[in-house]
Structure 1
Amino acid sequence: MPPSSFTLDPGTVFSLAVAFSLMPAAQLLASIVLPKNVPTKYKYLFIWHAYDFLTHFIVEGSYLYHCFFSYVDLPPATTDYPHPASLNPEGIYFLGQKSRRYGALYSSAPMARLWQEYAKADHRWGGADLTVISLEILTVGLAGPCATYIAFLISQIVPKPAGRERAKLQAKMWFLATTLATAELYGGFMTFCPEWLSGNTQLAGDDPVYLWLYLVFFNVLWVFIPAWVLWEAWKEVSGTFERAGQMTDREKGK
């Protein structure tokens, strides 16, 4: 791929506006749903999972849509780009279509423009990369609903007083949050590891905006924040077992 240079045109402004609007939207949702005296940790957990499901449904959901429904017809001899499987001499093509090229690059829709912009930094997201699509099916289909449900559970936990009902909700929330955070870390690794192992052929690291804003900043959130969620979950689990052990010790001392 030839090196790309960052250009601030109207399409770029729209794409960045969409990307940066989701966190304020999550914060606004938190201010509406959560009470004023919400503990700081639960507030941040709610905002993160609200941002998570907004990103998965709105942004990544549009990626999947364009992978399956946006295409151009090509001469039969042209292979689908960019997954290596499509270049197989046996003839393996995305959705079995030899004469079509799929992806956001072949649409003029507003959200397709967002992916056309991001594809300047990671070319795989403009077309129908099979690994990325496979990960995004799980992300949109499972991670998005899971993040939504976690945010809902947090909204139910916060106003409830300490007791068995609150404890049940907390156990469910922390289990799902741990599962989702682990999946987010795994998904990020599987997104970029193929590139690391193949010399980053699809990544545009020459331009500092594409490297540090598009590739690093927009992806590192799904490393550090899931890691923080796992740390908080560890403290909750270890604290619960410690309190249970103390109660057992006191009972034995009677």
Structure 2
Amino acid sequence: MADALAGAVPPPFTLDTGTAISLGIAFSLMPLAQGLAAAFLPATTPRKYYWLFLWHAYDFLTHFIIEGSFLYHCFFSYIELAVTEDTRLSRGGSKIPVLFDRPDRQYGALASSGPMARLWAEYAKADSRWGGADLMVISVELVTVLLDGPGAVYICYLISKIANVKDAALKGQYQSRLWFVAIVVAILELVGGWYTFAPEWLSGNHSLAGDDPVYLWLYLVFFNTLCKCSVVVP
């Protein structure tokens, strides 16, 4: 599955029905974030707070809906494999660690036919690690989904309070909390991005499909940069 795809040449980009649906799901989160901003922020909200709210709303929607579905399939979607002891050995002769220490199972999106699994199967054409249950990726996503996601929700909550409250002292309290949490979330986003891609850069990009311009610039660069916009918006 995903391990077998690492280093393999992915199929060229094709805009079929499954791909269109997957991209539609991914692109639908920004209009949802704009709808949340319109619902919770008054028209007089300063632009810096509007953009902060918008990007963090997009951020938590991405973490909960998109990345949350990745974790779900990592933990609950699998196929049975016929595995011998030799197949678990690395080049150094030690056992290759696998999720739940179950070498007889291949976990991940490629083991499912659900709609969100189809989205991750599409993204796995650009980065094959996301089709299976890569332990480094799972570790990073647990942090982003369980910490960054709620942190981004709290940021949106604080911005809505700042935009709607009239008491200056109370507004100051919300502002101090906002900038502290925003800095923490931004640091977690940067660290998560580093630990996601640094292993590939250091090992020669065996899992990344950088030759196809769509996979490189849309899947890898655009979508990953979009999630990091909250780092520079403040």
Give the structure-2-normalised TM-score: 0.91
Aligned residues: 226
Is 1:204 paired with 2:170?
A: no
Match of 1:77 in 2: 84
1:107 lines up with 2:117 in the alignment = no
Aligned twin of 1:98: 103
SS of residue paired to 2:204: coil
Are the structure 2 counterparts of residues 171 and 76 from structure 1 closer, same or farther at C-alpha, using a change threshold of 3 Å?
A: same
* Aligned equivalent of 2:40: 33
* Aligned partners of 1:86 and 1:92 also within 8 Å: no
Distance 1:87 1:118, change over 3 A: farther
Structure 1 residues 111 and 35: CA distance shift in structure 2, 3 A: same
Identity %: 57
Q: How far apart are residue 148 of structure 1 and its match? A: 0.5
**Once the two structures are superposed, what CA deviation does each residue of 1:100-121 show, in whole Å capped at 9, x if it has no partner?**
0010000011100000000000
- Aligned-pair distance for 1:225? 3.6
Where does residue 233 of structure 2 map in the other structure? 228
Q: Could you say what the CA RMSD is over the residues aligned between the two structures, in angstroms? A: 1.9
Contact 1:4 1:206 in 2 (8 A): no
User: Which runs of 5 or more structure 2 residues have no equivalent in the other structure?
Assistant: 1-7
1:23 equivalent to 2:33? Answer no
Q: Provide structure 1 residue ranges, at least 5 long, that are not aligned to the other structure.
A: 230-254
Amino acid at match of 1:196: W
Higher relative contact order (CA 8 A, sep 6+): 2
Aligned pair partner of 1:129 in 126, 134, 137: 134
Q: How does 1:1-254 map to 2 (within 5 A)?
A: 1-77=8-84, 89-90=94-95, 92-161=97-166, 163-229=168-234
The change in CA–CA distance for 1:27 and 1:9 in structure 2 (over 3 A counts) is same
Q: 2-side partners of 1:57 and 1:86: how far apart?
A: 37
* In 1: Cα distance, 2:83 partner to 2:164 partner: 61
For 1:89-142, what per-residue CA distance to the aligned partner results, in whole angstroms no more than 9, with x for missing partners?
A: 335321011200010000011100000000000000000101000000011111
Q: Please state how far the C-alpha of 1:4 moved relative to its aligned partner.
A: 2.9
Q: Which has the larger radius of gyration?
A: 1
Q: For the structure 1 residues 91 and 194, does the alpha-carbon distance in structure 2 shift closer, same or farther, using more than 3 Å as the test?
A: closer
